Amino acid sequence: MFRLTLSSSARDRLVNGLRAKGISDERVLAAIGAVDRGLFVPENFHFMAHDDVSLPIARDQRVSQPFIVATMTAALGLTDRSHVLEIGTGSGYQTTVLSHLCRWVRTIERQPFLAAAAEQLFTRLDLRNVTARVGDGLAGWPQAAPFEFILVTAAADDFPAQLLAQLSPAGGKMVIPIGRQGRAQTLFRVTRQADRFTYEELMPVRFVPLVPGVAAP
């Protein structure tokens, strides 16, 4: 009982902190408040699970700072009827937040170990609106395209042509960090109308690189 109360209190503090930092989308805040981030971080970081910081996970990857998760999610403008493609499942935390906000999430992870761990959590949480697979995120998921929304959780050197092509031409949106690791990176929102793309700078960020191909198990 004490752990549940503590976890709920910690999540409330996190949500209030995000609201104080300017996150105003109440659906996004509610989704973050509903997800126990402690499930997605290593045990030795549980005491920091609901702090607004990025934390390391396996395979030299990280679970994003909740403020960044909230900012990227809010920038998409999801409804409960939305279909989303996520590039970079990682721990599954961002995926789970998305699952509370839309009809369906498809998510791709290049690291088989991370993908397997995330899928176990999705099953444990009974997330029936999430489909996950191992694959090359830069290639997207052409069999299910076009997508209303694409969210990329690693930094690309440039805007990936295959992902742009998989955006819906009727106002599809992609949120993606651009820039090399160790250099300045910027979070962008890309909107597609027919064959025209609009690129909007949102904020400076720092992400692990978006790597092509599939990693060894």
> How far is it, in rounded angstroms, from Cα 77 to Cα 66?
17
Please indicate whether residue 64 is annotated as part of the active site. yes
Q: Which of 97, 86, 94, 215 is nearest to 144 (CA)?
A: 86
Give the CA distances from residue 117 to residues 15, 24, 133, in Å, rounded to whole numbers and listed in that order.
26, 32, 12
**Do 70 and 104 meet the contact criterion of CB atoms below 8 Å apart?**
no
* Close Cβ partners of 1 (under 8 Å, ≥ 6 residues apart): none
Amino acid at 137: G
How many C-beta neighbours within 10 Å does residue 53 have?
A: 14
Pairing of strands 55-56, 62-63: antiparallel
CA dihedral for 36, 42, 43, 47, sign (positive or negative): negative
Q: 7, 8, 24, 64: which one is catalytic?
A: 64
Active site residues: 64
